[in-house]
Structure 1
Amino acid sequence: MTILVTGASGHLGRLIVERLLARGAAASDVVAGARTPARAADLGVRVVELDYDRPETVAAALEGVDRVALVSSSEVGRRAAQHRAVIDAAVAAGVELLAYTSLFRAAESTHAVAPEHVETERLIAASGLPAVLLRNNWYNENQIGAVTLAAQTGQIVSSAGEGRIASAARADYADAAALVLLGDDQAGRVYELAGDVAWSQDELAAAAAEVLGRDVVHHAVTTQEHIALLEAAGLDVGTAGFVAAMDAGTAAGQLDSDDHTLSTLIGRPTTPLVDTLRAAV
């Protein structure tokens, strides 16, 4: 059984390859697809060129592949079209299973990043491919930038209000993906994956203070104040609005959860936020 991981030079794709090997997959059975193959050359598996924007490379990469991990593109606004290239190639190649890294509770989510995931899920369903959806909540690593900035400012600034985020480490989600890709009877399943412990922005500030060894406070602002601050920091109007909209989704409870599907699947507790921050900062 040959398993292809797309986006294998990125943070999540790389970890999925590593966890496949750790979970017992033979290196000869794992293929790493990357836009720039040299960036994935250290993974110890066969590396092929796979550029979401060049369908001919996608089709070539899927030749002889049985299962595919479609790792969501990082190019917001272009994801659905890029994912379509992989879905079409998977249909043509007759793959037996496609696993897509979607968004937590995508079907009912109003989060700013949800629409492209919903559209990708629709494309997968319409294709008739045997597929499994890995609906990932937020990554602990998403907070590293804010904590790094807090080392200088002593503040975590957000418009997320009291909204909680049930995040986990990328490695936790990668481990789940590896298990599903190596497992039996996965087609048709939908996994809502989240960290064991949800946290607020106040708790993020407390975790930042712990790892930085200095006082850090959460400075709560309104959505409009947040947009103004982001624009003042140099972001264009569209980007500032998008960032604030993501906080609005958090404030609305889109990323809150007490579900333990992820930890049950991987057989261990998910990685605490503070542990990820400590390792990074």
Structure 2
Amino acid sequence: MGALTVAVTGASGFVGRACVAEARARGVRVTAILRGEAPEGWADDDGIRVIRADLARPEAVETLRAALDRATAVIHAAAHLGGDAAAVQADTLRATDHLLAAMQGGAARLVLISSIAVHDTMRLKPGALLDESAPLEDPANARDAYCRGKLLQEDAVRASGLPAWLLRPGALYGPGRTWHALSGFGSALFFITIGSAGELPLMHVTHAARAAVTAALTDPGGVRELILLDDDRPTRGRFVAAHRRATGLPRLSVTISYGLWRAMIQPLRPVSRHLPGLFREPILRARMMPLRYSNAALHDALGHSDDAPFEAMLARSIGGAP
């Protein structure tokens, strides 16, 4: 196992750093590709070779080609996480094109960190099951720049001809990131939860990294799609309550049902594109609609088990433990 090398793009980011730690814990050497400074302690004698490159720049192709000479697989975690269309074009799409060009002719397989956001919830009903068979959004009419970027990123990987895993994690949480946008809106003092029914599609970042590294060491037999979710998926009400018990925040919260909120924003549809996300139905449905989820394919393909129930994993994360 020690002779294997996995390359990780976006290696200093939230997901990438967890993948580096998981690979090293298994005795797998890492080529850590990042744009900024490397975290303290990363060194070749610790099994981590650091390559600095801006993947959005054309010269990155040659840098990557040289960096990947020993890699069994590449975990591609570099991407723009926000809704800035120009940044998505550069840091998600152009960066992926350059990586794919560098991988052509090599032996490495690809593990793409995509997103569950590629699925089209406008074509699902409340209470429906979302798994790998759920419909995808149309990139030409995607609900936002982030979703469009992930759809086009997946399309580029399929067109490359490379063996690849398309991993679609739900909302990732872990040390330094225990809150997310899938519960509602407000502040630390007062928070409005939209509907307490339906599962939250959560996964702890260490679990996602475990799946990514396992995929890196496993032949997908072509291109294979997997949704990444934990087994213990809380409702929104349970999530907010657990976070309050662990941190004291939010101090006060009120729950408005999904159906009521959806009815309240319907009159705003003509001007909704100028309003925040939860006032726009496609984004509301993607983030808040009560759904059921399945991670059965993840179990079958790569194996998965939660380290502990959600509340224990949340407490570990708040305490800074991986």
Same fold flag (TM > 0.5): yes
Unaligned runs of 5+ in 2: 120-134, 138-142, 266-272
Report sequence identity in percent. Answer: 22
> TM-score, normalization: structure 2?
0.69
Distance in 2, Cα, partners of 1:271 & 1:121: 32
User: Please, which of 306, 318, 321 is the counterpart of residue 269 of structure 1?
Assistant: 306
Shift of residue 161, structure 1, vs aligned partner? 6.5
What's 1:81 paired with?
94
Distance in 2, Cα, partners of 1:179 & 1:106: 23
Distance in 2, Cα, partners of 1:23 & 1:178: 9
Distance in 2, Cα, partners of 1:51 & 1:101: 18
- Preserved contact between residue 211 and residue 278 of structure 1 (Cα < 8 Å): yes
What's 2:19 paired with?
16
RMSD: 3.4
Distance in 2, Cα, partners of 1:241 & 1:250: 9
**Which amino acid in the other structure matches residue 69 of structure 1?**
I
* Pairing 1:53–2:65 present: no
Shift of residue 50, structure 1, vs aligned partner? 2.4
Pairs within 5 Å for 1:141-156: 141=174, 143-144=178-179, 152-153=188-189, 155-156=190-191
When residues 217 and 272 of structure 1 are mapped into structure 2, their CA distance, relative to the original with a 3 A threshold, is farther
**Which amino acid in the other structure matches residue 240 of structure 1?**
P
Q: Describe the superposition over 1:165-206 as per-residue Cα deviations: whole angstroms up to 9, x where unpaired.
A: 221101100011111112345542322221112222211221
Distance in 2, Cα, partners of 1:190 & 1:270: 23
What's 1:230 paired with?
none
Q: Describe the superposition over 1:9-53 as per-residue Cα deviations: whole angstroms up to 9, x where unpaired.
A: 10110111111111231x3xx200000143475363110012122
What's 2:150 paired with?
117
Structure holding more strand per residue:
2
What's 1:69 paired with?
75
**Which amino acid in the other structure matches residue 33 of structure 1?**
I
Shift of residue 136, structure 1, vs aligned partner? 1.2
Shift of residue 164, structure 1, vs aligned partner? 2.5
* SS across alignment from 1:42: coil
**Which amino acid in the other structure matches residue 74 of structure 1?**
H
When residues 258 and 75 of structure 1 are mapped into structure 2, their CA distance, relative to the original with a 3 A threshold, is closer
* SS across alignment from 2:234: coil
**Which amino acid in the other structure matches residue 74 of structure 2?**
V
Distance in 1, Cα, partners of 2:276 & 2:136: 21
What's 1:232 paired with?
none
What's 1:171 paired with?
206
* SS across alignment from 1:125: helix
Pairs within 5 Å for 1:242-253: 246-253=283-290
Shift of residue 65, structure 1, vs aligned partner? 4.2
Pairs within 5 Å for 1:210-229: 210-213=245-248, 216-220=252-256, 222=261
Distance in 2, Cα, partners of 1:46 & 1:90: 18
Shift of residue 266, structure 1, vs aligned partner? 4.5
When residues 200 and 132 of structure 1 are mapped into structure 2, their CA distance, relative to the original with a 3 A threshold, is same
Q: Describe the superposition over 1:82-126 as per-residue Cα deviations: whole angstroms up to 9, x where unpaired.
A: 3222222222x5243111011237352457543222211111111
* SS across alignment from 2:230: coil
What's 2:234 paired with?
199
> TM-score, normalization: structure 1?
0.77
When residues 5 and 225 of structure 1 are mapped into structure 2, their CA distance, relative to the original with a 3 A threshold, is farther
When residues 211 and 194 of structure 1 are mapped into structure 2, their CA distance, relative to the original with a 3 A threshold, is same
* SS across alignment from 2:231: coil
Shift of residue 58, structure 1, vs aligned partner? 4.3
Distance in 1, Cα, partners of 2:236 & 2:304: 28
* Pairing 1:96–2:108 present: yes
Distance in 2, Cα, partners of 1:120 & 1:129: 13
**Which amino acid in the other structure matches residue 311 of structure 2?**
V
* SS across alignment from 2:203: coil
Unaligned runs of 5+ in 1: 227-236
When residues 172 and 262 of structure 1 are mapped into structure 2, their CA distance, relative to the original with a 3 A threshold, is farther
Q: Which moved more, 1:124-133 or 1:135-144?
A: 135-144
When residues 238 and 181 of structure 1 are mapped into structure 2, their CA distance, relative to the original with a 3 A threshold, is farther
Structure holding more helix per residue:
1
